[in-house]
Structure 1
Amino acid sequence: MSNTPGSPTLHSNAAIAVELTGITKRFGAFVANDGIDLAVRRGEIHAIIGENGAGKTTLMNILFGLLQPDEGSIRLNGEEIVIADPSVAIKAGLGMVHQHFKLVPSLSVADNVFLGME
């Protein structure tokens, strides 16, 4: 099976789990995210890459409820949701591992992974 852009994937018939539509976030005159559309189907893995300052962290902070979008909507499993804060994201089944995190050496790998869910 090909993995080139535009080719079918194993999950092309799976339901959309996370859908961002028209997500825009401004900080004063600076536009960090400008009309971002993203759909992730169940079972898919995506990577968001870009230069420093491209808006990757801002987009993830919106999805996790740390920031609110100025425009656009978020749908989880087909239902529109307002993620007002991280507790809403966690209840909806979303989690986030921050780029700069501290591991607890006395905990197992699994316990460190699940630490953010408590």
Structure 2
Amino acid sequence: MTGLFFILLFWLAGNALSALTGGYVSGNIIGMVLLFASLCLGWVRPETVRPAARFLLGAMALFFVPYGVGLMDSYHVIADNLWAIVVSGILSTLVVLLITGRTFQSLDRRSRFKRIQHLRRHD
């Protein structure tokens, strides 16, 4: 029960902070970051939250039922815009892959360059 209290407390705090800041970031995300920070800082013990978290993860499939029903209810809207959805999904995936790949290559190149400089200084 204590673990569920902490999870709901941070969820509520995240939603309150989201509302106070204009809702630019979802309250769920803010609450999750706050809970993670409190676990890292030792304010909340992981043993306290673990049983409730495992229970919620085990029941996660139930949380997707409303979204599935909403998709089935909006089938005609999805069917009318299917090409736009497919094209935007493919293009956004390609853009993310390209940017991620270029970022990794750049960071890897910098890392290798620093490693070579470090080895040259110690020789």
TM over 0.5: no
Report the TM-score when normalising by structure 1: 0.24
- Which protein is richer in helix relative to its size? 2
Larger Rg: 2
Question: Relative contact order (alpha carbons < 8 A, sep ≥ 6): 1 or 2 greater?
Answer: 1
